[in-house]
Amino acid sequence: MFSEKYDSLWINAHLVTMADTDEYGIIKDGAIAVRDGRILWVGPAKDVSPEVKLNADRVEDLAGTWMTPGLVDCHTHLVYAGNRSNEFEMRLKGADYQAIATAGGGITSTVRAVREASEEEIRQQSLPRLQAILADGVTTLEIKSGYGLDLENELKLLRVIKQLEAHTPARIVATFLGAHTVPPEYQGRPDDYVQLIITSILPEVVNRNLASAVDVFCETIGFNLEQTERIFQAARDKKLAIKLHAEQLSDSKGTVLAARYQALSADHLEYLDPEDVPALANGGCVAVLLPGAFYYLNETQKPPIQALRAAGVPMAVSTDANPGTSPVLSIRSMLNMACVLFGLTPAEALAGVTKHAAQALGLQDEVGTLAAGKVADFAVWDVSSPVDLAYQLGGNPLRFSVMGGRKYDPENCCTCD
């Protein structure tokens, strides 16, 4: 046991550590000590000596609540301008997502809105979405570009992501998704657009240190395998991590390619052939499940959960927060949908928004479990068991979250001025 002075001791909580186990890793009546923003010690409260308690600068009594790792939302597109509720209505009247996209709506309609908006307007519109996500216990999230699709506007989106990052205690990871769709000025010339990404946009993104990963929408309405691979090669040359929107609407074999490039993750996967699951396992990729997009598109084809489980592929769960397929700002509702729609157990779903989501961002040594050495990011919940987090829709059982050892104050945070 340690006896040095440390910043804070959190006692009287049941800890859902998510560490070293396939299940919750619960420590009933636990305690957690924090120093310099990192977890110093985690264990049963009975093992905390009175002397150690005296050494704490601050002791927080959590009154029998439950503590999880801070949640990680590993796939979002929440920085954009405008709104596509009109397309939601069109789909309900019978139009389908791909037809709307082919007719110049979908992603392209958000691209128009982003190009017309100033950086400041995009930031003002995106901030409430970020705040809503954080209000659900998220302490780390990924945000993709992908609605600018030219040098000026992709950089504009990535700068907004950086500004949000600078003004919130949450950890934000930026991903460059220049290959989200072919922009109108390159219609019919997708290879030329891929070339523009590789020779012009990606190098600038890297020079300015605006993203740590690339992503591609590999799909019939996105980019084909060969185009995707060209972007992967450029990303690898620049030492960026790789992610992929794969098998969302058809089996394009993007997952096999992503695995070959040892991508951090392959995301969506509704149309993934179970026979390709071993490749994913061998590539060490996380399967990111996005039940919000499945739900909004009224999809019936489900990801091959049983095959993923059997192959031991880590499954993450995320909001996919975006204006088209998943206008979702609640990761807790994704816990529920991952269980009800995809058949994950509540423990698998919680692993999906903690340790597996951290792995999907390459941050598994930093966040995602309650363990000594990790960043002191946690969420404190008024629930009677961790199952409640997936069980209930609506309401907000989050008492508060802690980021880097400090309580997150929603009133006094995320103001970019």
- Residue among 385, 382, 305 nearest 62 (CA): 382
Between 100 and 414, CB nearer to ligand NIG: 100
| Candidate ranges 24-32, 48-56, 105-113, 195-203; the one touching ligand NIG (CB under 6 A) | 105-113
Binding mask 186-205 for ligand NIG (x = CB under 6 A): --------------------
Residue 324 binds which one of Fe ion, ligand NIG, none, with CB within 5 to 8 A depending on kind? ligand NIG
Residue with tokens 């600018």: 148
Q: Are strands 26-35 and 286-289 parallel, antiparallel or unpaired?
A: unpaired
**Taking the CA atoms of the chain, what radius of gyration do you get in angstroms?**
21
Q: Which residue from 30, 69, 105, 106 is in contact with ligand NIG, where contact means CB under 6 A?
A: 106
d(CA 1, CA 24): 24
Residue with tokens 């909001």: 319
- Residue among 416, 411, 402 nearest 140 (CA): 402
Q: Which residue from 140, 153, 252, 325 is in contact with ligand NIG, where contact means CB under 6 A?
A: 325
Under rule CB under 6 A, residue 30 binds ligand NIG:
no
| Candidate ranges 103-111, 113-121, 183-191, 378-386; the one touching ligand NIG (CB under 6 A) | 103-111
Locate 192 and state its tokens: 């030329």
Between 150 and 219, CB nearer to Fe ion: 219
Between 320 and 377, CB nearer to Fe ion: 320
Element (H or E) spanning 398, and its range? strand 398-403
Residues 6+ apart with CB under 8 A from 159: 119, 210
Is 258 strand, coil or helix?
A: helix
Binding residues for Fe ion restricted to 319-338, rule: CB under 5 A? 320
Between 148 and 324, CB nearer to ligand NIG: 324
| Candidate ranges 11-19, 21-29, 89-97, 315-323; the one touching Fe ion (CB under 5 A) | 315-323
By rule CB under 5 A, what count of residues binds Fe ion? 1
Amino acid at 127: L
Give the count of beta carbons closer than 10 Å to the beta carbon of residue 116. Answer: 11
Binding residues for ligand NIG restricted to 220-249, rule: CB under 6 A? 245, 248
Give the count of beta carbons closer than 10 Å to the beta carbon of residue 392. Answer: 15
Between 39 and 289, CB nearer to Fe ion: 289
Q: Which residue from 10, 24, 217, 271 is in contact with ligand NIG, where contact means CB under 6 A?
A: 217
Give the count of beta carbons closer than 10 Å to the beta carbon of residue 187. Answer: 11
Binding residues for ligand NIG restricted to 277-296, rule: CB under 6 A? 293
Binding residues for ligand NIG restricted to 35-64, rule: CB under 6 A? none
Q: How many CA atoms lie within 13 A of 201 on its CB side?
A: 26
- Residue among 148, 77, 86, 79 nearest 111 (CA): 148
Locate 290 and state its tokens: 């996005």
Binding residues for ligand NIG restricted to 69-88, rule: CB under 6 A? 77
Binding residues for ligand NIG restricted to 338-377, rule: CB under 6 A? none
By rule CB under 6 A, what count of residues binds ligand NIG? 14
| Candidate ranges 14-22, 158-166, 316-324, 376-384; the one touching ligand NIG (CB under 6 A) | 316-324
Please give the DSSP secondary-structure letter assigned to residue 240. Answer: -
Please give the DSSP secondary-structure letter assigned to residue 302. Answer: P
Q: Which residue from 126, 322, 359, 364 is in contact with ligand NIG, where contact means CB under 6 A?
A: 322
d(CA 243, CA 263): 5
Instruction: With beta carbons less than 8 A apart as the criterion, state whether 205 and 176 touch.
Output: yes
Minimum CB separation from ligand NIG for residue 308, in Å? Answer: 19
d(CA 127, CA 131): 6
Between 286 and 414, CB nearer to ligand NIG: 286
Q: Which residues of 133-163 are buried (b: 16+ CB within 10 A; e: fewer)?
A: bbbbbbbbbbbbbbbbbbbebbbbbbbbbbb
Instruction: With beta carbons less than 8 A apart as the criterion, state whether 390 and 339 touch.
Output: yes
Minimum CB separation from ligand NIG for residue 215, in Å? Answer: 9
d(CA 268, CA 288): 6
| Candidate ranges 199-207, 309-317, 321-329, 340-348; the one touching ligand NIG (CB under 6 A) | 321-329
| Candidate ranges 42-50, 236-244, 312-320, 332-340; the one touching Fe ion (CB under 5 A) | 312-320
The residues of the shown chain that bind ligand NIG, judged by CB under 6 A, are 77, 106-107, 110, 217, 245, 248, 293, 320, 322-326
The binding site for Fe ion (CB under 5 A) comprises: 320
